[in-house]
Every structure is written in C-alpha cells, then in structure tokens.
Amino acid sequence: MKITLIAAMSMNHVIGKNNDLPWHLPDDFKFFQEITRGHHVLMGRKNYESLPIKYRPLPNRINLVLTNNKNYNAPNTFQFVSFEDALEFAKKEGEKELFVIGGGEIYQLLLPLANRIYLTEIHTQLSGDAYFPIFDTTIFKETSRSHHSADTHHKYAFDFVTYDRI
C-alpha cells in the first residue's frame, strides 16, 4: 500500500493556526477532494475536530482518526491509538493509497513511511502554530509542478507539487 501525505503549506511551512487554515483557496479544496475521494484518509484527533461539523466525517472516504484517547468516539470513523494499527486496517481493507491529511504531528510521524507527498505550496509567509515537517529533497524528488496565480477567489498564488520517494 502506498502512503501519501497531502497538505497545503505557506513558504515558512505553516499548515494551521488555532486549529484552522489561515487561508481560503477553493481550488486547493477541490484538488484535495478529487484526489482523496474513495480512499482511506488518516488524520489526528485535532485535525478531525478542526473539520466543520457538516464535513465530519469527510464524505466519500473512509476516515481513520489517530488519538491517544482509547475512549475517543468520532461517529462514522475508525479510531486508532497507533498508526501501525491504522495502516494495518487500511491494508486489510484493500486500500492501494492511504492519504495522511494532518496535522503536523501526524505528518512528522508518517513522513519516514511516505512514498509520495502532494503539497500545495502557497506563495506567502504566514504566522501559525502547526507546521509541515521539513523533508529531505535528496530522498523526495519533485516530479510535477502546476502553478496557480492569485485571482479574485485566491488571495495567494500557489503551486500544486508532487514529490516522490527516490
């Protein structure tokens, strides 16, 4: 099973602030929805709780929530206290590509196992309290990049970038 990290980050690696996104980029949301649809998505408890209630769990995906709380209950999701158990569950379910969708601690935890990273690189620096980990570009090679200019719906320019493990 392929393990893929998917995130959007500012140039200073910010991915969140106060358990929310510090930007609104509709085309990034659309990209996320299209690429993860029909797959298992793995997220931390805080990331799950940051989702608007109307999107909990994320529709058209199998939602896996990683938490240290053995009694945590997130309706219509599967909860795990270890990422190994979550990965084994997805594998047994026949998942071909598991998407890790955050937050920062979960990305850091799964980065050593990742085969691919889909990263929306936002062309600005923002303040925040959650970060995407710095990764080794001698291990991950950029394999595609698509630019999106700022416009009336997108305050910042950004690139959709794919990195594959060498």
The per-type count for the chain, helices as H runs and strands as E runs, is: 4, 10
List the one residue out of 94, 103, 107 whose CA is nearest residue 140.
Answer: 107
pLDDT for 154 = 97
pLDDT for 107 = 98
Low-confidence ranges of the chain (pLDDT < 70): none
Rg over alpha carbons for the chain, rounded to the nearest Å, is 15
pLDDT for 112 = 98
Taking the C-alpha atoms of residue 76 and residue 74, their distance in angstroms, rounded to an integer, is 6
- Looking at domain 2-165, its CATH class is alpha beta
Taking the C-alpha atoms of residue 165 and residue 140, their distance in angstroms, rounded to an integer, is 4
39 C-beta neighbours (distance < 10 Å), count: 18
**At CA 55, angle to CA 21 and CA 29, rounded to 5?**
50
Map out the domains of the chain as residue ranges. Answer: 2-165
pLDDT for 31 = 98
